[in-house]
Structure 1
Amino acid sequence: MTISSARRTTTKNDRFARLALGADGAATGLTGVLLLPLAGILDLLLGLPAGLLIGFAVFFVVYGASLLLLSRRPVVRRGAVWGVVTVNLLFAVDTAITLAAGWFDLTLLGTVACTTLGVIVAGFGAVQARAARGL
């Protein structure tokens, strides 16, 4: 029996997927790190409960770290990238539903912040979908 270990070469598509995951991970993690200590101040400025902001901050830190780790794996798997795309697009849709339903008494700044976050997350999802198609 012969064991063959073919070494996978890094392609342009792999680099694009790694860049898309890494940029998302860095931005998401940094957002969580900044949001965590500011949640008590931002609740009044945005119109979102501090507890919800703290929950999002913790999620952002963990999710961001996961994306950074995923971007550093020896092989970037297409299914994993599609999983990230799904999470990002669900978050963007949930943000839009939350805004449309008026579940929170958001300030103008809160509405702008939530809208901007939803658009950015959807953008990351779109870029990652493009990267996943090339894997």
Structure 2
Amino acid sequence: MAAIADGSTTAAGSNAEGKLLRFALKQDAIGSGANGLVFLAVAAIFGSMFGLPAAFLVPVGAFLVAFAATLLYLAGRPVVNRAAVIAVMVVNVAWVLASAEMLIAGWFPLAGLGAAFVIAQAAVVAGFTGLQFAGLRKA
């Protein structure tokens, strides 16, 4: 049985209910971790391809690797903490909003490929957040 902890209360659900939430957290971890590792490994190359400075991509990459590790930890716990999942969703929403702001405000001189990448990854993060929300509601 999957269990969700809400501070002082624990709600147990069926395996199918907990599976969606754990799946969403793990998929978010895979995507975040992969992006983070690529940003760290080839920041200069990505920077020139996308129009993003390496000095921006390296700390973002480090954050994404740490975020991915946190997501894997949460997904692997016998009891998934509801407040922690909500915090993950808040971070994801902030990521999507910051991505939109980056495009609208023109923070960086993005190449066409860079703008497409920012839009695509924001859409994927929004999708992960939707899955996490659905999984949280079911659990």
Aligned to 2:20: 16
Identity %: 35
Aligned to 1:133: 137
Q: Secondary structure at the match of 1:76?
A: strand
Where does 1:6-85 land on structure 2 (aligned, <5 Å)? Answer: 11-85=15-89
Deviations 1:3-52 (A, max 9, x none): xxxxx675321111111101111111111112211101111111111010
State the TM-score, normalized to the length of structure 2: 0.87
- Which stretches of structure 1, 4 residues or longer, exceed 3 Å deviation after superposition? none
State the TM-score, normalized to the length of structure 1: 0.89
Gaps of 5+ in 2: 1-11
Aligned length: 128
Write the distance in 2 (CA, Å) between the matches of 1:81 and 1:25: 13
Write the distance in 1 (CA, Å) between the matches of 2:72 and 2:14: 17
Larger Rg: 1
1:89 pairs with one of 72, 88, 93:
93
